[in-house]
Chains A and B, each alone.
Chain A
Amino acid sequence: MPSRDKAKRLTTLALLAAAAFVLSWVDSLIPVSGTLPGAKLGLANLSVLIGLYLLGPLPGAALCGLKILLQTFLFGNAYAFFYSLAGGILSYLVMLLTRKRCSVMFVSALGGVFHNLGQVLVAAVILQTAGLMAYFPVLMLCGIGAGLAVGLAGGILISRLRSILPFIS
């Protein structure tokens, strides 16, 4: 890869990181009440999704890590760290594994579902309770809904960015 393309990819990653910053902030402004803490719209996942598709697994993971750090230390409570971490990692792994076989919207919906699943699992470990069952269906529905919305926006952005950024595969 020519070093010029490398610089362009790095710049794209930096722009996506900046977008993740803003979207994490917007996420923190919109409360999703009645569910577990840490439940958000997940708009920041838009950045992660685009990074994963356009730049590849490693830059996507970097964006995902950045999103978790922002959510924990800038826009959230520090005690929610393990919830964000588990949700973020699980969701990213699922999106990574399914991205070539499924549509962007479906991948994003899976990401949303597994993000919330990760959080429920951590809550089960920390609270030493098997059942947070009353919250489970609502959380899954929120994950699917938010994931589909983010996936719709992400799909449009990914195809448009591909056509205007020729250095991206």
Chain B
Amino acid sequence: MRPRRWEAVILGVVILALLIWALWPGDPGAAVSVSVNGQVTEVYPLDQPTIVSIDGYGGFLLTLVVSDGSAHVEYASCPDLICQHHRPISSAGEQIVCLPARIVLTVTGKEAGVDAVTR
């Protein structure tokens, strides 16, 4: 029942790698890009305070607030509200995802490119 030695070794290595990946500090972000149903619709710079409403899939609405260099969802009309409860994002690569509305908010870095997505 208990993990054998090789299993424990695999688990330990994988957990350590995932922890490092999860806790790796991200570069400061420059902008937040809004993607609806796979299409990037808008990009808002993080240094300009903004309040916008985003139309998502299935008629769901999200209110995106950018302030103090970070972005968060102030209000969501979707059933689970996971995006609304998500903490503000500010480092490159951080994301807030609303699955019902098919909206992905991603913080992009200074140089928008591969580095902005991989963390």
Known interface pairs A102-B7, A103-B2, A156-B1. Does A36 touch B99 (Cβ–Cβ under 8 Å)?
yes
Shortest Cβ distance from B116 into A: residue? A131
Contacting A36 at CB < 8 Å: which of B7, B21, B82? B82
Tell me how far the C-beta of A98 lies from the nearest C-beta in chain B, rounded to whole angstroms. 10
Which of B44-52, B63-71, B89-97 contacts the other chain? B89-97
B118 within 8 A of A: yes
**Given A79-B99, A140-B18, are A33 and B1 neighbors across the interface (CB < 8 Å)?**
no
- B22→A137 contact, CB < 8 A: yes
Known contacts A37-B80, A129-B104, A133-B117: A159-B1 contact under CB 8 Å:
yes
Residue picked from A35, A77, A134, A138, most chain B C-beta under 10 Å: A134
Q: Which of A80, A127, A137, A144 is within 8 Å of B97, CB to CB?
A: A127
**Contact of B4 with A106 in the complex, beta carbons under 8 Å:** yes
CB distance B35 to A134 under 8 Å? no
Q: What 3 pairs between A and B have smallest CB-CB spacing?
A: A128-B38, A155-B1, A137-B22
Complex: A154 Cα to B22 Cα, angstroms: 29
Interface residue tally on B, bucketed by range: 35 or more
B43 interfacial by beta-carbon distance below 8 Å: no
Q: Is the interface of A mostly helix, strand, loop or mixed?
A: helix
Given A105-B1, A134-B119: A77 and B100 within 8 A (CB)? yes
Residues of the A chain whose Cβ atoms lie less than 8 Å from the Cβ of B15: 141, 144
> Are B1 and A104 interface neighbours, CB within 8 A?
yes
Is there a chain A Cβ closer than 8 Å to B25's Cβ?
no
- Shortest distance from the beta carbon of B37 to any chain A beta carbon, whole Å: 6
- A-chain residues with CB within 8 Å of residue B102 when the two chains form the complex: 126-127
Query: What residues of chain A lie closer than 8 Å to B85, measured between beta carbons?
Result: 33-34
Q: Using a CB-CB cutoff of 8 Å, which residues 74-101 of chain A contact chain B?
A: 77, 79-80, 83
Contact A103 B119 (CB under 8 A): no
A151 to B1, CA, bound (A): 8
CB-nearest residue of chain A to B107: A134
